[in-house]
Amino acid sequence: MKKTGKKQVFSLEKVDITKLKVGRIRHKELTNNFIERVINYKKKLSEVDKTSLESTLLNFRRDVDPEQELRIWEWIATNYERITRDNPKLTITMKGEYYRLFLNATLGVNSLDVKNSKV
């Protein structure tokens, strides 16, 4: 992000994945209610999200604003649950595509690029 006067200009740039570093732990603990909400959304996404609960909780502890991030994941899970419930004939591949669609939507990625994304 670049600041130019009063405006903030955002730009995307490609970064070598090997140069990325894991963020520091910002939150020593998460509340029991927060953990229950994580468990709930992970149940809804269990077919397509294979990240362990422990890893997920650790990632939330690294977030600057875990509550906001959790609300995003709850939105993804709610929409995923709705689309799969309303379309019972979806294959696991199709479900994965919808999962990527919802995930990409939260990242600001063009939904037309979903097939090319790797989540």
Residue 21 or 97, more confident? 97
Question: Where are the chain's structural domains?
Answer: 2-116
Which helix H or strand E contains 9, and what residues bound it? Answer: strand 7-9
Which helix H or strand E contains 104, and what residues bound it? Answer: helix 92-107
Read off the pLDDT of residues 77-89 as tens digits, 9 standing for 90 and up.
999 999 999 999 9
* pLDDT above 60: residue 17: yes
Predicted confidence at residue 20, as pLDDT, reads 77
3-state secondary structure of 30: coil
